[in-house]
Structure 1
Amino acid sequence: MRRVAARAAAVLGIAQAAAFAATPVAAADLPVKARPLPAPVASWTQFYVGAGLGFDFASGQSNLAPIGGGPALFSLDGLQGADLGLSGFTGFDLQVAPRFVIGGFVDYDWSRQRTAVNTTLFGAANLSAVMPSLDQGWTIGGRAGFLATPDILLYGLAGYSQMRINNWNVTATFGGPVFTMQESAQTSHGYTVGAGAEYRLSSNVSLRGEYRYVALGHNTTVDPLGAIWTTDLSEHVIRIGAAYRFGQFAGPATTASAAPALDPAWTGVYVGAGIGGDALTPHVAASLPGAVDFNAAGLGGADVGGTFTIGYDRQIAPKWVVGAFGLIDAATNGGAKITATGAGAGTTVTSDLASVKWAWTVGGRVGYLVSPETLVYVLGGYTGSTARSITYSFFGLQSTSPEREYHGATFGGGFERFFSDRISARAEYRMTHVETRDDLTDGVIFTNVSAGGTIHTLRGSLVYHLPTP
């Protein structure tokens, strides 16, 4: 009996030991659910370099007075020269709070501004002048911004600028003798203020649109012929640009959830509206046979404008989109004028500055998808642009040019990015070279007036993409 009990106990002990030994193996075979990894949170703390293009236009006053005092020999108020400009920039940003970014920057600007006027009186006296204009310059400053979303930074900026200004160059001929006043280029210093928006396309690429006002103050040069030039200029600089940002666009991992993926529909009909500006660089010619021949180039204007657009895009390949569009631009320049006064005789010439009243464009675009949500594109088309009528006063007579529609080819490019499944934002630059028209006189002063030139257009727009049936 004792042997049976001992054997039973031994069997039970072995079974229990086997059960305990088997328990870890069974546990090891059970599936284990891994803890989800925290998603990284975007950070704007990065260094960057970039480049941009847009337009510059100058405004201000110039005055020529004799040494020792006396009536001004010549004065010009409302001077504007507008043309295409380029920028290169570098800087750093520091995200100091979930919604706030501060940073420093240095940028360098180049401009093609060149305003020239040539006037011939009675076939004998000739006056040619190249007016002050921006050549190049740099700005160092800082910016502070608010993150409207993790990818969109709205910012203001301020800084110190140094600009090289091409000065007056005047040549006068009176029947034989030639008088030349070539003022040396001057370096002007002043302050810069502005604002902009920057949009992150990827960890290392962002796009921005920016406006800067540069106040350059008074500058004086003494001409060897015995006259004092005083110039008071300010520059308006408008750019769209791209930046390469070094390092990953992400901070430490947190438990924040990742943003839901977008499902953009590039194929379909869209409508949009936007705002921006235009710069005009016209050439103008006018004549009164036997009395006056007048030619000007670059004496342009600028305006603030809006755009309404409708179009259709089709995604023809995983990375390519093509489309057609039509748009209408409307603009105003606020009634800007230029006034020139000649000394002694009290002769005053005034004129409105050239500006777009409204325009239409039809064309197409081809784009490449750098990401499923972001399209970089080029465009081309045909434009009809109606210039605002210009009223001018010349030697006491006043005349108003009729409104005319100018036609020409348009080229440009831009980028567009979805920030919801149906709404996208785009930034776009267009250049239109219009024909020259010679039917602009009303017969009051000049018998022949002609004008043509180039229009630079920048726009930022919001676009709604209609659901595909």
Structure 2
Amino acid sequence: MIRIALLGAASAGALVALVAGAQAADLPAYEPAPAVTAPAVPSFTWTGPYIGVQAGYAWGDTNIRGVKPEGFIVGGYAGYNVQLDGSPVVLGVETDFNYSDVDDRRGGVRAQSDWAGATRARVGYAFDRFLAYAAGGVAYADREVRVRGVGRDSKTALGWTVGGGLEYAATDNVSVRGEYRYTDYGSDRLLGAKVKGDEHRVMGGVAYKFDTFGF
């Protein structure tokens, strides 16, 4: 009788184990949920059109003895940059136009410039939001000479300009910069004499860069 009870219990246990194993085999396999990753944040790019204002100080030299014009400059600039894909290299073109209060007088001779501008190509190297750049191109300016008792004469001078600077993007749309520029205006005949002139200037500017969508 005891053997029959033990045999029954063993058979029941085997049956329970068999049913449990079959049910477990029927359950769907567990797969872990995919890891949630934060969306990639696009890095800053210098690509896009921009417009800005600037101000600075200029000083230069002429071939008129003792006449070295200097003074303040204020104006605006506009341009377009392209940052090469996957590269820190930035290429661009820019033009500016400025009011100029640059003059000097020695004896009865006065040399002055009332406005100046330039159109330049730019090449830069970006360190994320910092941009070190060099620029060069064509410069143009008003040049005037007055001689007491003789009269006055003026010309629009054409020359070349080179320089460089450092720019920082404070936000995705606003950048500030400082730069140095050297300009050689060559020579022009004023009041019958050949007058040469060059200029050094330091400038600071702030610009707004437009989003590239739609361009």
Query: For residue 138 of structure 2, what is the aligned residue in structure 1?
Result: 160
Provide the C-alpha distance between the structure 1 equivalents of 2:37 and 2:147, rounded to a whole number of angstroms.
78
Query: For residue 112 of structure 2, what is the aligned residue in structure 1?
Result: 133
- Alignment partner for residue 143 of structure 1, among 104, 119, 122? 122
Q: Deviations over 1:22-81 (max 9, x none)?
A: x59x97xx865313322312221111100111101121213xxxxxxxxxxxxx1x5312
* 1:117 Cα deviation from its structure 2 partner: 4.6
- Alignment partner for residue 147 of structure 2, among 170, 188, 199? 170
Provide the C-alpha distance between the structure 1 equivalents of 2:147 and 2:165, rounded to a whole number of angstroms.
38
Letter matched to residue 45 of structure 1: T
Provide the C-alpha distance between the structure 2 equivalents of 1:154 and 1:32, rounded to a whole number of angstroms.
43
- Within 5 Å, give how 1:101-116 maps onto structure 2: 101-116=90-105
* 1:152 Cα deviation from its structure 2 partner: 1.1
- Alignment partner for residue 239 of structure 1, among 203, 208, 211? 203
Provide the C-alpha distance between the structure 1 equivalents of 2:35 and 2:190, rounded to a whole number of angstroms.
79
* 1:143 Cα deviation from its structure 2 partner: 0.8
Provide the C-alpha distance between the structure 2 equivalents of 1:181 and 1:31, rounded to a whole number of angstroms.
91
Provide the C-alpha distance between the structure 2 equivalents of 1:133 and 1:234, rounded to a whole number of angstroms.
12
Choose 1 or 2 for highest CA Rg: 2
* 1:202 Cα deviation from its structure 2 partner: 0.8
- Give the direction of change, closer, same or farther, for the CA distance of 1:108–1:38 in structure 2 (3 Å limit): same
Query: For residue 73 of structure 2, what is the aligned residue in structure 1?
Result: 85
Answer yes or no: is 1:184 the counterpart of 2:168.
no
Query: For residue 48 of structure 1, what is the aligned residue in structure 2?
Result: 50
Provide the C-alpha distance between the structure 2 equivalents of 1:61 and 1:117, rounded to a whole number of angstroms.
12
Letter matched to residue 156 of structure 2: T
- Within 5 Å, give how 1:204-353 maps onto structure 2: 204-222=173-191, 228-247=192-211
* 1:137 Cα deviation from its structure 2 partner: 2.1
- Give the direction of change, closer, same or farther, for the CA distance of 1:95–1:113 in structure 2 (3 Å limit): same
Answer yes or no: is 1:96 the counterpart of 2:84.
yes
* 1:233 Cα deviation from its structure 2 partner: 0.4
Q: Deviations over 1:208-228 (max 9, x none)?
A: 111111111111134xxxxx2
- Within 5 Å, give how 1:16-27 maps onto structure 2: 16=23, 20=27
Letter matched to residue 35 of structure 2: K
Letter matched to residue 198 of structure 2: S
Letter matched to residue 136 of structure 1: W
List alignment gaps of at least 5 residues for structure 1.
Answer: 1-7, 63-75, 119-127, 172-179, 223-227, 249-469
Give structure 1 regions of 4+ aligned residues with deviation exceeding 6 angstroms.
none
Letter matched to residue 87 of structure 1: G
RMSD (CA atoms): 2.5
Higher normalized contact order (CA 8 Å, seq sep 6+, divided by chain length): 2
Q: With the length of structure 1 as denominator, give the TM-score of the two structures.
A: 0.38
Task: Provide the aligned length of Structure 1 versus Structure 2.
Answer: 191
Asked whether the 8 Å contact 2:175–2:206 carries over to 1, the reply is yes
List alignment gaps of at least 5 residues for structure 2.
Answer: 1-14
Letter matched to residue 178 of structure 2: G
Q: Deviations over 1:414-467 (max 9, x none)?
A: xxxxxxxxxxxxxxxxxxxxxxxxxxxxxxxxxxxxxxxxxxxxxxxxxxxxxx
Asked whether the 8 Å contact 2:130–2:168 carries over to 1, the reply is yes
Asked whether the 8 Å contact 1:58–1:79 carries over to 2, the reply is no
Provide the C-alpha distance between the structure 2 equivalents of 1:32 and 1:94, rounded to a whole number of angstroms.
38
Asked whether the 8 Å contact 2:55–2:75 carries over to 1, the reply is yes
Asked whether the 8 Å contact 1:58–1:134 carries over to 2, the reply is no
Query: For residue 35 of structure 1, what is the aligned residue in structure 2?
Result: 37
- Give the direction of change, closer, same or farther, for the CA distance of 1:46–1:87 in structure 2 (3 Å limit): same
Higher helix share: 2
Give the SS at the match of 1:184: strand
Provide the C-alpha distance between the structure 1 equivalents of 2:41 and 2:189, rounded to a whole number of angstroms.
60
Provide the C-alpha distance between the structure 1 equivalents of 2:73 and 2:143, rounded to a whole number of angstroms.
14
Asked whether the 8 Å contact 2:100–2:116 carries over to 1, the reply is no
Letter matched to residue 83 of structure 1: G
